[in-house]
Structure 1
Amino acid sequence: MSTISVTHSNYVRLLGSSDPDEVYGALRTIKNNVIGSSTKKTLYIDLQIIPAVSALLTAHSTSVASRVQATAIVGSLARSRDSGAKAAAALASQGVVGALVGQLAENSDERLVEASERALNALLEHGETLSAAVAAATEGALVEQVLAIIDTADTETDLGIHSHARVELAVLIIGRLCVSEARQYMVANTGVIDALVRLLLAPKAHFRLQTATLRALAALSYENAEICAALGAVQGGSVAAAVLRLARATDATLRLHACEVAANLCRMRAVSSRDVQSVAVPALVRLVREADGVAAVQALGYLCHEDTDVQAVARSSGAIDALVARLKAAWSTEEGDFGDPVRGAREAKAAFLALGTVVSTNEECRRAAVDAGAFAHIVRALGHKDAGVRAAACLCARYIVRSVAICRTHAPESGILKPLLSLLHDSNSDVQATAAATLVNLLSDFSPLRVDALKQGLLPTLVQLLEAPAAPVRRNALWAVRNVLIKIDEDTRREVVEGVGIERLLSLSEPGADPAMHEHAVGALRNIVAESTWGIDRLFAARGVPRTLDLLAQLVSQSSAQSDRSVLVHSLYLVNNVAARSDARCCDIAGHQQLMKAVVSHTSSSVSEVAIAALWCINSIASHQREDDSRASLHAPALRRLGVARILSRLLRNQGLPLDVRDRVMSCQDYFPEIGRGSGEDDVEIDEEL
């Protein structure tokens, strides 16, 4: 072996020779050694082939013949499955990308141009690893060169693959560049959209060139509403029509990339969702059943994301059964003497993520997933050695148990609780975060698993996770604590409050506190005082009455902007629950001018949930009666001075007032006879967000 290493080392040494023939011979030998051999690629990288080859490519004196060989070596190193990304980053740092672009611009030798295109395509597969400096220095020139190549395509004649291989490579390079929104716009601003559309609509384009064009369009339009809108508007929707036509093509790869473009256009509302549903969804489901790989699975999941209608079409097209079958196939891929654990894990992760997306907002899809046996696969995956698979399985379970019915029936008998609790101690923070998020729904009062989880030591674990380094872990742990506090017995309430710490919750509830924790801390306080005079006394004893009232006033004085709305609603119900169950604290609230003015101001909010919460507060404050007159409201006079009666009268005259707000206004009428009659209980939240 040492002799062999010395021989290869000599080839690398010869690259620095002053004899052009020696350099060429060494390059050719190295090229033949590394092509198709991961072992040899690693060996030559260790022998410092990258600096040597880079020096030749960046030197003006290197011959064309040697450049062809060196460029082929670059492409081969970048395609290595084991070390390709590392090699690409090293090559980019040595200035190779700029040298390859220069070879496209300055040389007419067809062999060198073709080798440069292939090498660039291989390097750009690892586009995210290339430094921003290299990208900024070379991308503009690179796009200009490849666009010139694309423009050479004659779309009026037969676009055979042999005569247009360079065009195909150029189009693929365009797609490789679009790894971020900034790069999408950089590419689009060169006029490349028109060139790609011309190729897509060419009646005689070879299917491989069409496939490359669709791949480039998919990368260019991914999550980009402006570019999707531009594509959707081309020639009265001709692009969308062509994409949907190609989604029915015979070739599976062509169908896949057509569906990816269709999914982008649909998600960005650039085309009719109904047309995409009827064509792309069934096409993707067929690909999930038939094709090898995860791309179709990922495309289906992306198309179904947060769209109940598309999810329903996917279910009726057999997507759930197909994805569960994919999970079975993934386990089979991992097993046996010739199993491929890496590939199996990749397929299982993709299938879980797609299945979770398909069931995320559709109750019928969740039931179908349970009926298809999804829980058995989830429980198995929770113990998988790959962290990505564990996290994906947790996410899938999280979406399935959004269903109250499934939480009550199928979840307890699935065996999911024990492995899920163990993942709260996982070494991977993403797994911990998704496991805690999955527990959120399993800990509400309607879930039989809550008692079991608490018996198995859940509370100390959640308290420990509140100090976790990762913000998502802390956030989801506090969210779980918040749901544990829903409609619990007094002993458990005290145990939770003492374990978590009332002062910790108050600190996290202060305006300006950790945004990841703020909302759930206020929600937890809201649940602590619901139906519990002990909880109210504990809240006010922690900091004293004046400071606690000041904190409530700060919370309720927030705006009803989208970013603050949830915290504001929780804060109003926190005030309501205190006012409804404690005469003494209600008097304190009624006497705090800033707090009362803020509550009254929200009764006229244009946001229904905010107005309803504020009206609950008015109702609860007004419901306390005078000791000398059981029919008179103790705090109605103070409320009148704040203009509550006038506000209620105005709201009742508003014909456009939402019915749920009107009902709450009418519930206050008994306390204000001059205009003419409830409570915001626990903060019960079923996870309805990603």
Structure 2
Amino acid sequence: MAKSLVKTERKQGFHFLFPLEIPLASATMPTSASVSAATSASRPSTDLVARLGSSDREVQLKALRDVKNQIIGNRTKKLTYIKLGAVPAVASVLSDAIDGSVCGSSDLLVQSAATLGSFACGVDAGVRAVLDAGALPYLVRLLSSSDEKVIDSGARSLKMVYQSKLAPKYDVLQKSNMEFLCSLLNSENENANGLGASIITNSCKTSAEQKALCDNGVLTKLIDFLDGSMIQREASLESLASIMNENGEVTSLFVEYERGQALGLLVKLTNERSARTRLLACECLIIISNVSSRYLKWKGIETKLISYLLELLEEPGHIGDEASFALSNYIEDKEDLQKLACDANAIDVLCTHLQNQLLQPKRFEGILLALANICSRLEICRAKLLHMQEFNSINDALHHDCADVRAAACICLRSVSRSVQNLSAGFFMNEKIVMPVLQLLHDPSLTVQLAALRAIGNIVVDFRTHKSRFMKWGGVKQLIQLSMSMNSAIRLNSLWALKNLTFEADNQCKERVFRELTASSLASLICDPEPCVQEQALALVRNLIDGSLDSIEYVFVEGSIILNAIGRHLERASTAECKVQGMYVLSNIASGSEIHKDSLMELLFQDRENGDPLYILNFLQSNDSHLRTASVWVIVNLTNPSCLGASGRTVKLRNAGVISQLKNMVNDPCLDVKLRVRTVLGQCMTFGE
């Protein structure tokens, strides 16, 4: 029997591993034959898999060790052995050993469990293979063993499985499951503790589950682990993040535990030697901050937390990768924290990392997202990034092989293109920026397509002067094609971009968009099954007909197909947002010629022979102030006394009860509504009302 390389010592309820001295073999040069044999032994082979099924226990043990040693840290070999059917073979060894059909099976239990854990470690295909082989129940049974090594091996392997999203959902609301979970957390075995924490991290998703865990003392136990070994601390930090996530009640319990002792301990862990511990502690603090920023203000560590995360960016591998995502999450939609990040030179630090030519895709993505969030609100941040040489790296990222990086580059571009100053100057409407983004509109990845569309949606606002370039580059044609997509998110964002393109656009731009889109297609989009698409289609029409009298004619072409679609839509619109946009379209029509106004009156009063109230009356009584404002604007334009037919329209509106309703709104709580109502009533007085 080979000597064990470690020994286990029980101390204060935990296990500590101490490496033993290993005698070194004499240094000899291998012969060509030995090199060949070693190379052959390290290659995945069907023969090695076959030996896993040997009836000879020693052959099985050696085969298990050989497979395990080959696949540790080697994704390629893991996948090869999975294809060769190694996982079911290892699972079979485990099940036979558990069932007692093999004498002296302790080593087989340890090695087979460890091998299954190695397959599951960091590779979803390995996790799937372990689950498909039916190994999970056997691994769980190992936790009941009287042999600490067996328990350790089983717990480690199960932990590998539960670190994957493919792991089966563990129902913590079931009493027996909760009892088992608590037994893991209360175990003297650290790996059992870690397994329990991994199960919580994997399966605790709802507020009911978070509450149940707290009610069963799990929160208190996890807080105790914060002062335990490194394994316990890190397992606890991951689980605490899941239990507190978006749950104010649980977060409050944690923060107030022992008068802030738990929070103080968490803050202390941000200075630990272990980079992973520091990262996990920072992520927990971010979750607490997302629930209520006052907790971190109370501790005064908001700026320090940004500095900690920037320092963690220097760490290699997974830690450094995740630090950028944590920073991005921390400052997202928080203007005060974005300012703190800017003051802490976060933009400079992040851009320094962009200079690394060997930057891995995951970290590249995280840095781009962090930059996007820093620049999402403050012009000073955008200006700083735009004037740095590294901005070219963001543009280059649009061509990256990794879809996630391309999407992140689009998100970053969208964020910095919110700059009114640079939009006005046409900074973004140049071929070097726009053409790569237009190409991404047909990217194989839907995520990239959507991110590119949203970036285009910002860039095309561009305040009049440079929109002709976008049309020249074929942008309008592509957006219109995508507005007919089967995917509602693509339709939505395409229309959003077209709406922004036509904002304060000249007649040439509007004519181009309308001609290529066509009235029938626009009418169809107004009646789209998705309310959000309907809203953007109506907003596009609103922009198209804003301005000259000629542009109002768009709603009357093809037998007034667009106007009729709007009328039908307003009769049954499900959302206030759609109604608001629809009424602003009518307001623009009402600002047109007498023919336009009279056509609108016909639309408002059509099919009213049965005495049903006008929908505009219902809108004037809405609780939504925006809808009331838009509706009053329609009446303002219809009753403008400088127009010839205003008197007749006023009489008709008065007879329908509209003017009476407006009189009830003279003290409307919304100032905009109040002012427009008084304008209408003043105009009506011109006609003796």
TM, length-normalised to structure 2: 0.83
Whether contact under 8 Å (1:281, 1:314) holds in the other structure is: no
> 1:157 is matched with which residue?
none
2:591 is the counterpart of 1:580? yes
> 2:6 is matched with which residue?
none
Where 2:555 maps in the other structure, the secondary structure is helix
> 2:569 is matched with which residue?
555
Whether contact under 8 Å (1:472, 1:516) holds in the other structure is: no
Cα offset for 1:327?
A: 2.1
2:182 is the counterpart of 1:147? yes
Cα offset for 1:46?
A: 3.4
Letter aligned with residue 255 of structure 1: R
1:111/1:139 Cα in 2 relative to 1: closer, same or farther (>3 Å)? Answer: farther
> 1:569 is matched with which residue?
580
> 2:129 is matched with which residue?
90
Cα offset for 1:4?
A: 5.3
2:60 is the counterpart of 1:23? yes
1:636/1:491 Cα in 2 relative to 1: closer, same or farther (>3 Å)? Answer: same
Match of 1:504 among 502, 521, 524: 521
Letter aligned with residue 92 of structure 2: A
What is the alpha-carbon distance in structure 2 between the residues aligned to residue 538 and residue 7 of structure 1? 69
Cα offset for 1:241?
A: 4.0
How big is each residue's C-alpha offset from its partner over 1:319-364, in whole Å with a ceiling of 9 and x where there is no partner?
Answer: 22222223223xx224xxxxxxxxx211111111122122223333
What is the alpha-carbon distance in structure 2 between the residues aligned to residue 25 and residue 626 of structure 1? 97
Where 1:17 maps in the other structure, the secondary structure is coil
Instruction: Tell me how many residue pairs correspond in the alignment.
Output: 636
Where 2:333 maps in the other structure, the secondary structure is coil
How big is each residue's C-alpha offset from its partner over 1:381-435, in whole Å with a ceiling of 9 and x where there is no partner?
Answer: 1122222111110011111112211212343469412322222233333222211
> 2:78 is matched with which residue?
41
Q: Map of 1:214-613 to 2, 5 A cutoff?
A: 214-224=237-247, 227-232=250-255, 234-235=257-258, 237-249=260-272, 251-269=274-292, 272=295, 274-275=297-298, 278=302, 281-292=305-316, 293-329=320-356, 332-334=357-359, 344-373=360-389, 375-409=391-425, 410-412=427-429, 415-444=432-461, 446=463, 448-510=465-527, 513-515=529-531, 517-544=533-560, 550-557=564-571, 564-591=575-602, 592-593=604-605, 597-613=614-630
Letter aligned with residue 58 of structure 1: S
Match of 1:637 among 627, 644, 651: 651
What is the alpha-carbon distance in structure 1 between the residues aligned to residue 475 and residue 214 of structure 2? 58
Match of 1:650 among 650, 664, 684: 664
What is the alpha-carbon distance in structure 2 between the residues aligned to residue 6 and residue 453 of structure 1? 56
2:124 is the counterpart of 1:65? no
What is the alpha-carbon distance in structure 1 between the residues aligned to residue 187 and residue 444 of structure 2? 54
What is the alpha-carbon distance in structure 1 between the residues aligned to residue 226 and residue 197 of structure 2? 20
Cα offset for 1:575?
A: 0.4
Cα offset for 1:75?
A: 1.4
Whether contact under 8 Å (1:645, 1:675) holds in the other structure is: no
> 1:623 is matched with which residue?
640
Cα offset for 1:610?
A: 1.8
Letter aligned with residue 374 of structure 2: V
Whether contact under 8 Å (2:441, 2:452) holds in the other structure is: yes
> 2:148 is matched with which residue?
110
Cα offset for 1:145?
A: 4.0
Whether contact under 8 Å (1:54, 1:94) holds in the other structure is: yes
* Coordinate RMSD, CA, aligned: 3.5
Where 1:635 maps in the other structure, the secondary structure is helix
What is the alpha-carbon distance in structure 2 between the residues aligned to residue 3 and residue 48 of structure 1? 19
Cα offset for 1:548?
A: 5.5
1:136/1:194 Cα in 2 relative to 1: closer, same or farther (>3 Å)? Answer: closer
What is the alpha-carbon distance in structure 2 between the residues aligned to residue 653 and residue 556 of structure 1? 26
What is the alpha-carbon distance in structure 1 between the residues aligned to residue 276 and residue 61 of structure 2? 39
Deviates more, 1:479-488 or 1:612-621: 479-488
What is the alpha-carbon distance in structure 2 between the residues aligned to residue 259 and residue 414 of structure 1? 41
What is the alpha-carbon distance in structure 1 between the residues aligned to residue 265 and residue 673 of structure 2? 49
> 1:687 is matched with which residue?
none
What is the alpha-carbon distance in structure 2 between the residues aligned to residue 152 and residue 137 of structure 1? 18
Q: Which has the higher contact order (CA 8 A, sep 6+)?
A: 1
How big is each residue's C-alpha offset from its partner over 1:3-24, in whole Å with a ceiling of 9 and x where there is no partner?
Answer: 7599953443233334444433
Cα offset for 1:371?
A: 3.7
What is the alpha-carbon distance in structure 1 between the residues aligned to residue 54 and residue 149 of structure 2? 24
Cα offset for 1:499?
A: 0.6
Where 2:685 maps in the other structure, the secondary structure is coil
Deviates more, 1:17-26 or 1:572-581: 17-26
How big is each residue's C-alpha offset from its partner over 1:602-642, in whole Å with a ceiling of 9 and x where there is no partner?
Answer: 234333322221111110111165649xxx63322222223
Where 1:581 maps in the other structure, the secondary structure is coil
Letter aligned with residue 590 of structure 2: A
> 2:682 is matched with which residue?
670
What is the alpha-carbon distance in structure 2 between the residues aligned to residue 676 and residue 666 of structure 1? 15
Cα offset for 1:57?
A: 2.4
What is the alpha-carbon distance in structure 2 between the residues aligned to residue 197 and residue 371 of structure 1? 50
Cα offset for 1:195?
A: 3.5
Where 1:651 maps in the other structure, the secondary structure is coil
Letter aligned with residue 454 of structure 1: M
- Consecutive unaligned residues of structure 2, counting only runs of 5 or more, are 1-35
How big is each residue's C-alpha offset from its partner over 1:83-108, in whole Å with a ceiling of 9 and x where there is no partner?
Answer: x210110111121122111211x311
Whether contact under 8 Å (1:669, 1:676) holds in the other structure is: no
> 2:91 is matched with which residue?
54
How big is each residue's C-alpha offset from its partner over 1:245-284, in whole Å with a ceiling of 9 and x where there is no partner?
Answer: 4335555433321221121122233853634762564344
1:244/1:661 Cα in 2 relative to 1: closer, same or farther (>3 Å)? Answer: farther
What is the alpha-carbon distance in structure 2 between the residues aligned to residue 589 and residue 85 of structure 1? 61
Deviates more, 1:33-42 or 1:521-530: 33-42
> 2:228 is matched with which residue?
205
What is the alpha-carbon distance in structure 1 between the residues aligned to residue 117 and residue 226 of structure 2? 33
Letter aligned with residue 108 of structure 1: S
2:158 is the counterpart of 1:120? yes
2:631 is the counterpart of 1:614? yes
Where 1:536 maps in the other structure, the secondary structure is helix
- Consecutive unaligned residues of structure 1, counting only runs of 5 or more, are 154-163, 335-343, 678-690
> 2:11 is matched with which residue?
none
Match of 1:177 among 189, 199, 202: 202
Deviates more, 1:295-304 or 1:254-263: 254-263
1:245/1:21 Cα in 2 relative to 1: closer, same or farther (>3 Å)? Answer: closer
What is the alpha-carbon distance in structure 2 between the residues aligned to residue 241 and residue 638 of structure 1? 71
What is the alpha-carbon distance in structure 2 between the residues aligned to residue 130 and residue 166 of structure 1? 18
What is the alpha-carbon distance in structure 2 between the residues aligned to residue 609 and residue 651 of structure 1? 14
What is the alpha-carbon distance in structure 2 between the residues aligned to residue 144 and residue 449 of structure 1? 66
1:268/1:274 Cα in 2 relative to 1: closer, same or farther (>3 Å)? Answer: same
Letter aligned with residue 597 of structure 2: C
Whether contact under 8 Å (2:226, 2:237) holds in the other structure is: no
1:667/1:236 Cα in 2 relative to 1: closer, same or farther (>3 Å)? Answer: farther
> 2:29 is matched with which residue?
none
